[in-house]
Amino acid sequence: MKVRQKRFAYIMVGLMVIGIATALILNALNSNVAFYFTPTQVFNKEVPLNKAFRIGGLVEAGSMKREGDGLTVHFVVTDTARSMPVVFKGILPDLFREGKGVVAQGKLEADGVFRAEDVLAKHDENYMPPEAKSAIEQAQKQKGVKP
């Protein structure tokens, strides 16, 4: 093998190793990334099927109900345009309240209920998750445009 052929072979092997490493990294990232959607986007079926994502907005007043086991909680997340029923089994954050901002991560089930695996709530009086705030502002703009 000539020097030029050896150099070409090394470059090709190097490119293959870099390509395989990149594919493995992207695959790992893709399985761990949870995109954020609003209830309106979920209603418009813009969400990936059978994949975890985040939903955010306000916890609708009067929507929170606990089951007899004390751990399963049903509530509704709204962006003021659309609402999404959410089921969460676990301990809610101390600051979780009706009428306050929330972001829940989980999967949408076939019956249209979002089963949350993790729930995040605001952490002070004036704070609202940026995604939830943006979703509410966008929904209010859409309400203003549509009669």
Q: Is 123 annotated as a binding residue?
A: yes
Q: Is 127 annotated as a binding residue?
A: yes
Question: What's the 3-state SS for the chain?
Answer: CCHHHHHHHHHHHHHHHHHHHHHHHHHHHHHHCCEEECHHHHHCCCCCCCCCEEEEEEECCCCCEECCCCCEEEEEEECCCCEEEEEEECCCCCCCCCCCEEEEEEEECCCCCEEEEEEEECCCCCCCCHHHHHHHHHHHHHHHHCC
Rounded to an integer, what distance in angstroms lies between the CA atom of residue 137 and that of residue 143? 10
103: nearest Cα among 39, 140, 48, 54: 54
Binding-site positions for heme: 123, 127
Binding-site positions: 123, 127
